[in-house]
Amino acid sequence: GHLNDIIPEFLCFEETANISFQTNPTGGNIENLSSDYQYQWYQYHFEEELGDTTDLNNWELISSDVVESYTTNTLPQGTYFYKVKVTAADCSDLEEDFTNTITVNVYPELIAGALTQPETICYEDEPITIGFATNQGPTGGNENYDYTWYKNGEVIQFENGVAEDGNIEFQNDQITVYSHTDAETQYHVEITSYTCQTVSTEPITITTYPDIDPGVISIVENNDEGIQICDNEQVNLEISTYPSGAENSDNGTPTTVGWSYQWLINVGGDPLNDEEYVPAPGINNDIQYTTELLPGPGNYYFKLEITSTAQNCGPRRTEHIHVEVLEELNAGHLNDIIPEFLCFEETANISFQTNP
């Protein structure tokens, strides 16, 4: 007879193979027509190095049942050969013959691998790529993998490679997330290979530092957020409420440790437009700032930019301070159109020609 060799070229790890005759045995000069053929099923298994397959002693007898088909046990990875010795037992002379040999290949077990566990990241501003740790990517199967990514247990729905309005970018075996605002976010990925099993990595947790509260700045002279001064005067600014958040344990306490400071100025622009602020002149990186002499008339706006130095989180900016500088004092001009001479004991009327 002839074994059916129409079996998938590869089977998945621990699948079974159903082996049957494509054409049944014939002949053998059976005297007792009520008798049937006897079948001995043999298996040869190897993973790396093929041995001598011509020696039947190297084959394993896996079944002696009188059957015309055989379903294997679950098969670990490797290559398996199968053949059947068919015997016409009731012949006057014992006759036996072997079928053709068929091959069954079994993929290795699919192992999910492990994602890299990142350290705590900054609130909102820190992009992070989530992927497999070095030498810990998926293995097994046919080594071609499909990836389905999950965030907090829900499938991430990608469209043209992006999700969440561009916040997450799909790169097959890794994703890039551009912003996190939750304290903790879990991710895992499912891997499928061939038509075999689907396996999943253990979830990792992205931990996010608290957002930076930049605190409050005020004017030393009046402890307020605005002041009106004369032309070419100076103003002293300071932190009245210290910053907090990020990775700093000394949140909101008067300290320079863990923070960097940058005083900013906006001359005559829109106080709400951060793009119009530039570094203020002078010593501008301390907890206090003294302006230069401010010429009037004009409006000056100041902010303090805060960055957390340990993880470089931020920056964040305070609300602005408004300094209005008045026009330079002009005493005016007296009217000098008066008679050159007055009579004795007359009065003179002196007035401003132009007011101050």
Q: For the chain, what is the mean pLDDT? A: 89
**Sign of the torsion angle spanned by Cα atoms 291, 296, 301, 307:** negative
- Token pair of 311 as six digits: 């993880």
Which residues does 177 contact at the CB level (< 8 Å), separation at least 6?
Answer: 127, 128, 129, 130, 167, 168, 206
Q: What share of the chain is helix, strand, coil (3-state, %, to 5)?
A: 0, 45, 55
DSSP-derived letter for residue 189 is E
**Per-residue confidence (pLDDT) for residue 33, from 0 to 100:** 45
DSSP-derived letter for residue 3 is E
Give the rounded distance of the alpha carbon of 52 from its chain centre. 52
| Contact yes or no for 291/280 (Cβ under 8 A) | yes
**Per-residue confidence (pLDDT) for residue 34, from 0 to 100:** 41
pTM of the predicted structure, to 2 decimals: 0.76
- Token pair of 175 as six digits: 């994703």
| Contact yes or no for 22/2 (Cβ under 8 A) | yes
Which residues does 244 contact at the CB level (< 8 Å), separation at least 6?
Answer: 210, 212, 213, 215, 251, 252
Quick one: average pLDDT of 29-35? 50
CA–CA separation, 274 and 278 (whole Å):
9
Quick one: average pLDDT of 211-228? 92
In three state form, how does the secondary structure of 30-98 look? Answer: ECCCCCCCEEEEEEEEECCCCCCCCCHHHCEEEECCCCCEEECCCECCEEEEEEEEEEECCECCCEEEE
CA–CA separation, 285 and 298 (whole Å):
24
**Per-residue confidence (pLDDT) for residue 249, from 0 to 100:** 56
Amino acid identity for residue 262 in this structure: Q
| Contact yes or no for 219/225 (Cβ under 8 A) | yes
**Per-residue confidence (pLDDT) for residue 250, from 0 to 100:** 59
CA neighbor of 141 nearest in space, from 48, 77, 188, 81: 77
Q: Tell whether the model's pLDDT for residue 90 goes beyond 70.
A: no
Say whether 11 sits in a helix, a strand or coil. strand
- The number of CA neighbours under 13 Å toward the Cβ of 267 is 11
Ordered strands of the 162-163 beta sheet: 128-130, 175-177, 168-170, 162-163
Q: What is the pLDDT of residues 272-331, one digit of tens each?
A: 999 999 999 999 999 999 999 999 999 999 999 999 987 889 999 999 999 999 988 778
- Token pair of 137 as six digits: 């990517």
| Contact yes or no for 167/149 (Cβ under 8 A) | no
**Per-residue confidence (pLDDT) for residue 161, from 0 to 100:** 93
**Per-residue confidence (pLDDT) for residue 265, from 0 to 100:** 98
- DSSP conformation letters of 238-290: EEEE--B-TT-SSTTSS--TTEEEEEEEEESS-TT-GGG-EEPSSS-SSSEEE
Q: What is the pLDDT of residues 233-266, one digit of tens each?
A: 999 999 999 998 888 755 666 666 788 999 999 9
